[in-house]
Every structure is written in C-alpha cells, then in structure tokens.
Amino acid sequence: MDEQFMERLVRLREDFNRPMVISSGYRSPDYNAQIGGAEHSAHVYGRAVDVVVGGELAYDLVRLASLHGFTGIGVSQKGPYARSYWMFVSCCNLCRE
C-alpha cells in the first residue's frame, strides 16, 4: 500500500473513532482484471480501499473522507455484506505522481 495513502487512511480512522472493516485494498493487476476492476484502478497502485459501513455511519465516513482529502469516494449497497453499504475511498491525485 502507498505510504502517503495509508497515513491519510489512519488519520481518517482516528477521526471516525470506530473500527473500519476493509474488504479490499491492494489488488494485483491480474486479480483486478479477473474481478472486472478498472484497468488503472487506484487499488492497483495501493491507493484505494473498500470499507464496509452502513446506515448513518456511511454519511459520517463520506464527510470525513472528504475533509481528509480523499478525492475518489463512492458508496454502494451491492455486495456480500447484508444490510451494509460498502464505500470506496481513494486518493486519485496520488496516482498521478
């Protein structure tokens, strides 16, 4: 995982003040292609995670992620986690460096 990304993620987790369940982090290019991920996904660069979060906590995490400078934020209700959302957070600006 990218060191700058991880430092930012730790600060986000500290402000969120709750455990963050990460369902996906770094993906090899081969694995990323296997699961249908974007060719230049931030996951391939170690600059993205998917977090399992639900209810009002999802709104809190989106707000905090934005305040912490995460530039790629997405929320979905799909996936294997019943009655939960998953949230994608990345620092795409770090991918261009």
Predicted pLDDT at 46: 94
Q: Which two tokens stand for residue 72?
A: 């790629």
What ranges do the domains of the chain cover? 3-95
Predicted pLDDT at 74: 85
Predicted pLDDT at 96: 46
Residue 90: other Cβ atoms inside 10 A: 22
Predicted pLDDT at 19: 93
Predicted pLDDT at 6: 94
Q: Which two tokens stand for residue 41?
A: 């996904």
Predicted pLDDT at 86: 72
Topology (CATH level 3) of domain 3-95: Muramoyl-pentapeptide Carboxypeptidase; domain 2 (3.30.1380)
Distances (CA, A) of 29 to 24, 46, 57, 79, 91: 14, 11, 31, 21, 18
Predicted pLDDT at 97: 41
* Mean pLDDT, each 10-residue run in order, the chain (97 residues): 93 96 94 92 92 87 93 76 68 54
Residue 30: other Cβ atoms inside 10 A: 8
